[in-house]
Amino acid sequence: MPETVILHDFPAGGPAEGWESFSPFVLEVARALKLAKVPFEQRPVNMLKLKELNPLGQLPVLSIDGEKVSDSTRILKRIESMKPGVFTAGLDARGVAEAWLWEEFGDACLYPYVLATRWADDRGWPVPRARFFGSIPAPIRGLVASRIRKGVTNNLVERDFLRGGLTACYERMGRVLDDLEARAPEAGFWLGANVTAADLGLFAHVHSLRLPLTPFQAQEVAKRAKLSRYLDRVDAATRG
Q: What is the pLDDT of residues 203-240, one digit of tens each?
A: 999 999 999 999 999 999 999 999 999 999 999 999 98
Domain-located, residue 72: yes
What is the pLDDT, as a whole number, of residue 132?
85
Same domain, 78 and 106: no
Residue 202's CATH number: 1.20.1050
Alpha helices by DSSP H, the chain: 24-35, 50-53, 72-82, 93-105, 111-115, 126-133, 138-158, 166-183, 197-209, 215-222, 225-238
**What CATH number did the domain enclosing 32 receive?**
3.40.30.10
**Do 129 and 163 belong to one domain?**
yes
d(CA 170, CA 176): 10
Average pLDDT over all residues of the chain: 94
Residue 88 belongs to a domain: no
Host domain of residue 212:
93-238
Residues 102 and 166 grouped into a single domain: yes
Q: Based on the structure, what is the number of domains in the chain?
A: 2
Q: Domain check: are 77 and 115 in the same one?
A: no
Q: Are residues 73 and 101 in the same domain?
A: no
Question: Is residue 149 predicted with pLDDT exceeding 90?
Answer: yes
Q: What is the structure's pLDDT at 185?
A: 98
